[in-house]
């Protein structure tokens, strides 16, 4: 275990060093831009004790909640301690970003317990991901959210090992709650991660989890309630100050309306203010009005709205390029158009290779589980596989081929959907996959669903990249289930699902 701890420390140090090197280069060159301008200004006001308020050009100060509070709140606390300089926010991004590499490494240890190389590769892919590393100077939320989500997946793996204890699910909820304050759609992951931790239970633990519905639902409820508890103080503030209750922010209506524009390219565009909302000036009231008008359009034109989904997914997954876009927008002289194209090319090649490796993992035949159903009866063997089982083979081949072609083509979004389809074709075996794989697929599916409803942008895919990069490394791993939790009963066969990792190893899988 000392070796694994040293490996984890090395991965964290590598990730941190790469990010700090970028911060050292960028700190004096790239001021906040785009949404980063607003995060920086809000953080300055929080640091000055003015709260989450906005100073308008005419001198009027109003309470605000358009942008989620989590990131500017954290940056504002650091600005209060160390000074309101963008470099402080960049260093926060560097530390939190390095935690993603550590979390993925720890998840990969569980996924490949026999290997030292696979966890190291998983962590290194996150530590040196060109899109994630180069995005560190951006005073933006996506990189931080991706790291918090990766840490939540790590917590989910620990909850899986320690079930039916509820405390680990509470920790999971706290991490998802923190991510929700940064990006509200992260709340979707609270029941997803908790449910995956339970559905992956070996049968020995499953017997302990069976019983009343309340007993089975308790871990999910604890996770969701803990996440909501993190958000509750800010929700109460919004109810008191914004003339309308909102969990975190009041921009959902804006985003839904942007994504319901029939002329949309699938990406962000200046909002077309509906006639019904032109005389609404209250921030929360305007967002509510935009939401009503967007829902009305969707109800009246469901086909046209659904027809926008491919554009939105293409805007999200075909090309990220967030780091180059931000650096060039912040300082075109220091980061030229040619620099942006070059970084985008490197990042795209890296991300497409990650997608290809993830497709390889998903296309492989699932490993037999030690607690699987008993072997088939000899008569069943004589009859051979069923029609449905025979159909799975060409279906897997077709999806794999589609995914590979898409990964090598412009429309990578098709490849990501093919990855999800391939994983689903594993059937019930997927529920016993390593938490690294399950969480990566869950985050990918949640990201795709969210931006199919609202609108897309390449930077939004960054949230899924840490876990997807870790999943890619599993293509080189032997298909084997995770080791049993310390003290968990053995499967009916009496054989452990994986060889022990060493004395006390399960207790030390932090």
Q: How far apart are CA 480 and CA 492, in angstroms?
A: 17
Q: Is residue 343 over pLDDT 70? A: yes
> What letter does residue 266 receive in the DSSP assignment?
S
Kindly report which listed range (177-191, 285-299, 426-440) carries the lowest average pLDDT score. 426-440
Looking at per-residue pLDDT, the higher value among 116 and 365 belongs to 116
Question: pLDDT tens digits, residue range 122-180?
Answer: 999 999 999 999 999 999 999 999 999 999 999 999 999 998 899 999 999 999 999 99
Contacts of 45 (CB under 8 A, 6+ apart): 51, 52, 53, 54, 55, 76
d(CA 486, CA 1): 15
d(CA 97, CA 177): 18
Q: What is the pLDDT of residue 370?
A: 42
pLDDT at 381: 52
d(CA 129, CA 508): 27
Kindly state the DSSP code that residue 369 receives in the 8-state scheme.
Answer: P
The residue with greater pLDDT, 37 or 1, is: 37
CA distance 104 to 465: 11
pLDDT-derived band at 294, boundaries 50, 70, 90: very high
String of b and e for 466-497 (b: at least 16 CB within 10 Å)?
bbbbbbbbbbebeebbbbbbeebeebeeeeeb
Helix (H, G, I), strand (E, B) or coil at 248: coil
Q: Where are the alpha helices (DSSP H) in 27-85?
A: 35-47, 70-82
pTM of the model: 0.89
The two tokens of residue 241 are: 């100050």
Structure confidence at residue 386 as a pLDDT band (50, 70, 90): low
Rounded to the nearest integer, the mean pLDDT of the chain is: 88
Cα 128-312-441 angle, rounded to 5 deg: 50
- Coil vs helix vs strand at 386: coil
- Of 36-50, 211-225, 358-372, 489-503, which gets the smallest average pLDDT? 489-503
Question: What pLDDT does residue 128 have?
Answer: 98
Contacts of 259 (CB under 8 A, 6+ apart): 294, 308, 312, 453, 454, 455
If one compares 268 and 354, the residue with the highest pLDDT of the two is: 354
pLDDT digits (tens, 9 = 90+) for 471-487: 999 998 876 544 444 44
Positive or negative, the Cα torsion across 127, 133, 139, 140? Answer: negative
- Flag whether pLDDT at 335 surpasses 80: yes
Q: How confident is the model at residue 377 (pLDDT cuts 50, 70, 90)?
A: low
Segment 459-471, tens digit of pLDDT: 999 999 999 999 9
| Model confidence pLDDT, tens digit, residues 96-116 | 999 999 999 999 999 999 899
Q: What would the mean pLDDT of 36-53 be, rounded to a whole number?
A: 96
Percent with pLDDT over 70 in the chain: 86
The confidence score (pLDDT) of residue 84 equals 96
Question: What pLDDT does residue 382 have?
Answer: 52
Handedness of CA 235, 237, 240, 241 (dihedral sign): negative
Percent of the chain with pLDDT over 90: 77
User: What is the pLDDT averaged over residues 337-347?
Assistant: 97
pLDDT digits 0-9 by tens, 295-333: 999 999 999 999 999 999 999 999 999 999 999 999 999
Inter-residue contact 182 to 202 (CB < 8 Å)? no
């Amino acid at each position: 275990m000392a070796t694994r701890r040293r490996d984890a420390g090395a991965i964290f140090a590598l990730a941190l060093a790469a990010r700090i090197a970028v911060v050292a280069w960028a700190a004096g060159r790239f001021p906040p831009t785009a949404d980063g301008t607003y995060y920086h200004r809000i953080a300055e006001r929080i640091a000055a004790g003015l709260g989450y308020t906005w100073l308008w050009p005419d001198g009027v100060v109003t309470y605000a909640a358009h942008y989620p509070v989590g990131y500017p709140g954290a940056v504002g606390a650091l600005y209060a301690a160390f000074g309101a300089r963008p470099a402080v926010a960049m260093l926060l991004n560097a530390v939190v970003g390095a935690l993603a590499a550590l979390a993925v490494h720890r998840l990969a240890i569980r996924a490949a317990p026999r290997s030292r190389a696979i966890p190291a590769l998983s962590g290194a892919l996150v530590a040196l991901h060109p899109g994630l590393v180069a995005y560190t100077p951006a005073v933006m939320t996506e990189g931080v959210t991706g790291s918090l989500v990766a840490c939540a997946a790590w917590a989910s793996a620990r909850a899986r090992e320690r079930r039916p204890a509820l405390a680990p699910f509470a920790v999971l909820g706290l991490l998802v709650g923190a991510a929700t304050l940064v990006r509200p759609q992260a709340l979707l992951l609270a029941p997803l991660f908790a449910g995956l931790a339970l559905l992956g239970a070996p049968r020995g633990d499953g017997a302990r989890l069976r019983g009343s519905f309340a007993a089975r639902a308790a871990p999910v409820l604890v996770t969701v309630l803990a996440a909501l508890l993190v958000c509750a103080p800010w929700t109460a503030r919004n109810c008191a100050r914004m003339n309308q209750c909102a969990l975190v922010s009041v921009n959902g209506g804006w985003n839904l309306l942007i994504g319901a524009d029939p002329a949309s390219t699938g990406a962000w565009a200046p909002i077309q203010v509906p006639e019904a909302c032109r005389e609404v000036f209250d921030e929360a009231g305007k967002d509510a009005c935009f939401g009503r008008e967007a829902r009305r359009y969707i109800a009246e034109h469901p086909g046209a709205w659904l027809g926008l989904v491919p554009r939105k997914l293409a805007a999200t997954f075909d090309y990220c390029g967030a780091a180059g876009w931000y650096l060039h927008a912040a300082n075109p002289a220091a980061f030229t158009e040619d620099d942006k194209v070059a970084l985008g090319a490197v990042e795209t090649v890296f991300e497409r290779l990650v997608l290809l490796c993830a497709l390889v993992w998903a296309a492989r035949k699932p490993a037999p589980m030690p607690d699987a159903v008993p072997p088939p009866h000899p008569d069943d063997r004589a009859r051979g596989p069923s029609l449905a089982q025979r159909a799975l083979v060409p279906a897997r081949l077709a999806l794999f081929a589609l995914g590979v072609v898409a990964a090598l083509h412009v429309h990578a979004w098709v490849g990501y959907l093919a990855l999800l389809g391939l994983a689903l074709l594993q059937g019930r075996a997927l529920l016993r996959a390593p938490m690294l794989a399950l969480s990566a697929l869950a985050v990918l599916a949640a990201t795709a669903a969210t931006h199919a409803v609202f609108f897309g942008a390449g930077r939004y895919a960054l949230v899924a990249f840490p876990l997807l990069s870790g999943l890619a490394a599993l293509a080189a791993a032997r298909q084997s289930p995770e080791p049993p939790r310390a003290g968990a009963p053995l499967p009916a066969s009496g054989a452990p699902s994986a060889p022990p990792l060493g004395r006390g190893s399960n207790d030390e899988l932090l």
